[in-house]
């Protein structure tokens, strides 16, 4: 049976982000934007759950041998994500309709 997994790390990451987005959509969240680069860093998925804007960092590990995906989100990474989310939110408030993916 041929291996149908994407070969590059970037392609695998895109597939995993897509799967995460589909799963979250099935849970009732709506996609607002994905892979948004800001001065603070990149935001993988930005979703809306009711009135709440949800920033999703997608992490994947092929095994937990060197730690779980959650353990890879270091305090430094958390600060970058918070900064990126604040920048995104500031611009999103200025033109809310521009960010909505239909």
The CATH number of residue 38's host domain is 3.40.1350.10
Q: How far apart are CA 57 and CA 102, in angstroms?
A: 21
Spatial CB neighbours of 28, under 8 Å, sequence gap ≥ 6: 49
Beta strands in 1-102 (DSSP E): 30-38, 41-49, 52-56
pTM of the model as a whole:
0.77
Residue 47 has pLDDT above 90, yes or no: yes
CB–CB of 13/35 below 8 Å? no
Higher pLDDT pick, 61 / 44: 44
Question: Residue range 2-15: average pLDDT?
Answer: 75
The distance from CA 90 to its chain's CA centroid, rounded to whole angstroms, is 18
The answer to whether residue 76 sits within a structural domain is yes
The answer to whether residue 2 sits within a structural domain is no
The answer to whether residue 3 sits within a structural domain is no
Domain that holds residue 46: 28-99
How many structural domains is the chain composed of?
A: 1
The overall average pLDDT reported for the chain is 84
The answer to whether residue 13 sits within a structural domain is no
Residue 90 has pLDDT above 80, yes or no: yes
First CA to last CA distance, the chain: 37
The answer to whether residue 16 sits within a structural domain is no
The answer to whether residue 15 sits within a structural domain is no
CB–CB of 18/24 below 8 Å? no
């Amino acid at each position: 049976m041929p291996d149908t997994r994407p070969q590059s790390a970037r392609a695998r990451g895109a597939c995993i982000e897509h799967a995460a987005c589909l799963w979250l959509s099935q849970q009732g969240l709506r996609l607002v934007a994905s892979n948004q680069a800001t001065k603070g860093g990149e935001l993988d998925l930005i979703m809306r759950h009711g009135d709440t804007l949800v920033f999703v960092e997608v992490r994947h590990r092929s095994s937990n041998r060197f730690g779980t995906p959650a353990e890879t989100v270091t305090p430094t990474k958390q600060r970058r994500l918070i900064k990126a989310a604040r920048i995104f939110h500031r611009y999103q408030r200025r033109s809310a309709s521009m960010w909505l993916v239909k």
